[in-house]
């Protein structure tokens, strides 16, 4: 079946540090890949997505590239801010309307 594996957190960084959160997946075919962010006490928000191999999703300074050869979708940001402190979830979906399969989430804490 489909699965998503994320690096375990928490990840603690100083402001302006470089961020990488690893995500790898297992799925047949060509799933769509997503990163969602959950701020404290809130629901999930879509951060970025990629629907085919070599696509790069980007938003708010975050980027992730769909790597079919390594089945990965690592999240990166060049300079994190305190306001980026949240839980980040990697997810995949096989087709439109299909359910999302989530990773376990990675908590990011950014210190001033």
- Residues binding another protein (CB under 8 A): 34, 36, 42-46, 49, 89, 96-97, 99-100, 102-105, 107
With a CB cutoff of 8 Å and minimum separation 6, the contacts of 28 are none
**Which is nearer to another protein, 18 or 31 (by Cβ)?**
31
Cβ proximity to another protein: between 18 and 52 the closer is: 52
| Nearest alpha carbon to residue 78 among 13, 4, 6, 5 | 13
The DSSP 8-state label assigned to residue 59 in this structure reads: E
Q: Which of 15, 51 has the CB closer to another protein?
A: 51
């Amino acid at each position: 079946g489909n699965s998503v594996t994320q690096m375990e957190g928490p990840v603690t960084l100083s402001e302006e540090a470089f961020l990488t959160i690893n995500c790898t997946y297992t799925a047949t075919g060509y799933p769509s890949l997503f990163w969602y962010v959950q701020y404290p006490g809130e629901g999930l928000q879509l951060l970025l997505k990629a629907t085919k191999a070599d696509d790069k999703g980007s938003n708010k300074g975050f980027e992730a590239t769909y790597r079919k050869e390594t089945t990965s979708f690592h999240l990166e940001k060049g300079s994190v801010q305190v306001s980026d402190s949240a839980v980040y979830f990697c997810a995949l979906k096989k087709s439109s309307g299909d359910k999302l399969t989530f990773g376990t989430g990675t908590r990011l804490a950014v210190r001033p």
